[in-house]
Amino acid sequence: MSKNNKMWLSSPHMGGDELSYVNEAFDTNWIAPLGPNVNMFEKEISSFIGNGINVVALNSGTSAIHLGLKMLGVEKNDIVLCQSFTFSASANPIHYLGAIPVFIDSEKETWNIDPELAEQAIVEYIEKGQKPKAIIAVCLYGMPYNSEKLNSISEKYDIPILEDSAEALGSSYKGNMCGSFGDIGVLSFNGNKIITTSGGGALLTKSKSVSDKVLYMATQAKDEEVHYQHSEIGYNYRMSNVLAGIGIGQMNVIEDRVESRRRNYDFYKKSLSHLKDITFLDEPKDYYSNRWLTCILTNSFKKREEIREALLIENIESRPLWKPMHLQPVFSESDSYTNGVSDDLFDKGLCLPSGSNLSKTDLQRVINCIIKICK
């Protein structure tokens, strides 16, 4: 192992103001899963996303997906179309509800759900008498999904979209922020995300009645009675007021964080694209990615592994791109519509260290190592 310090893929990066909001929670004894920090954090996200979005802060992105699917009416034995190329948390909540995932492969332009394959699945499932109940589209690595095409398919067949923008806070399409494209949007503030509350998430919706219902469901579905009365099964999914304090501090620096991650991408691209073995995912016209993680595509699995192992020896963390859900042992019984795109990305792709706290010297260390392997 090299004596160099460990370089992480995406580590938390505090802005400096976080502790003052956390201290305030302590000083005022708001140590609860509600309180002024939670309210303020929600307001800040809402004004950042715009489009009149209502925000409910939750304890994870996964719980936001779970409640989101519930709000879209997903129940036992319903079919839910889900982008295959993603992290398992996009798909697991389908099973929490007893519903059935059908995985859809990606398009080459965005690496996100292929609208044409999605439409093919919709048509075939409707013919079988099993109209899908919802579509989960992901803005993976910060790249918006093809909302123009997919949203028109969603309207045509009257099937709502849950937009998993866990990785895409600060990304946009034609100036509209990720999180606002689907009928329901989801963000994650897990430790590795562009901003973090250590653990946390949010559900986004344009409908005030939906956000009111989510708030009720996330706080144990308590009826409006003086005693504890429940007419529905609830969840304990609300965000802590202490952690929301970290979130407010992080929202003070969100623009800087997006800029830094995009700068990382540009620097990697400028320094590595002369290598014939390495390519990058460009932004299609009108797409703006927060470049949460910079990903490279090599020309073979072997080359990908050579680079990953060389980086590891230098004490640098890198990671293969997400293993698609249709290749996961846990989903081996699930139906899927594939076109080879995500198989190929999984074989040849690698995520490089992308934290907003990395220096140019850090990035250069990664670049030198890759150049050595590829030349």
Ligand X SMILES: Cc1ncc(COP(=O)(O)O)c(C=O)c1O
- Closer to ligand X by CB, 121 or 138: give it: 138
Residue 63 CB, shortest distance to ligand X, in Å, is 7
Distance of closest approach, residue 242 Cβ to ligand X, in angstroms:
17
The residues pairing with 113 across neighbouring beta strands, listed in sequence order, are 106
- Name the 3-class secondary structure at 357: coil
- Between 125 and 189, whose beta carbon lies closer to ligand X? 189
Our CB check for ligand X shows the closer of 138 and 363 to be 138
Report the nearest approach of ligand X to the CB of residue 171 (Å).
13
Beta strands 184-188 and 161-164, pairing class: parallel
- Closest to 55 measured CA to CA, from 242, 202, 239, 220: 202
Paired tokens of 253 = 């620096």
**Residue 150 tokens, joined:** 């997919």
Per DSSP, 133 falls in state S
CB of residue 149 to ligand X, shortest distance in Å: 20
The residues binding ligand X (CB under 6 A) are: 60-62, 86-87, 89-90, 138, 164, 166-167, 188, 190, 201
Closest CB to ligand X among residues 90, 180: 90
Shortest Å distance, C-beta 159 to ligand X:
20
Nearest residue (CB) to ligand X, 187 versus 374: 187
> Which one, 101 or 201, has the nearer CB to ligand X?
201
In the complex with ligand X, the residue whose CB is nearer, 66 or 262, is: 66
Nearer to ligand X, 44 or 167 (CB): 167
Q: Smallest gap, in angstroms, from Cβ of residue 293 to ligand X?
A: 10
Confirm if 276 and 65 have CB atoms less than 8 A apart: no
CB of 167 to ligand X, least distance (A): 5
To ligand X, the closest distance from the beta carbon of 142 in angstroms equals 10
SS3 4: coil
Q: Residue 173 CB, nearest distance to ligand X (Å)?
A: 17
Exposure on the CB side of residue 332, measured as CA atoms within 13 A: 2
Q: Is the Cβ of residue 143 or residue 369 nearer to ligand X in the bound state?
A: 143
Nearest CA to 57 among 187, 182, 251? 187
Give the residue nearest to ligand X (CB): 61
Query: Which residues, other chains included, contact 70 with Cβ-Cβ below 8 Å and sequence gap of 6+?
Result: 97, 217
Residue located via tokens 């002369």? 274
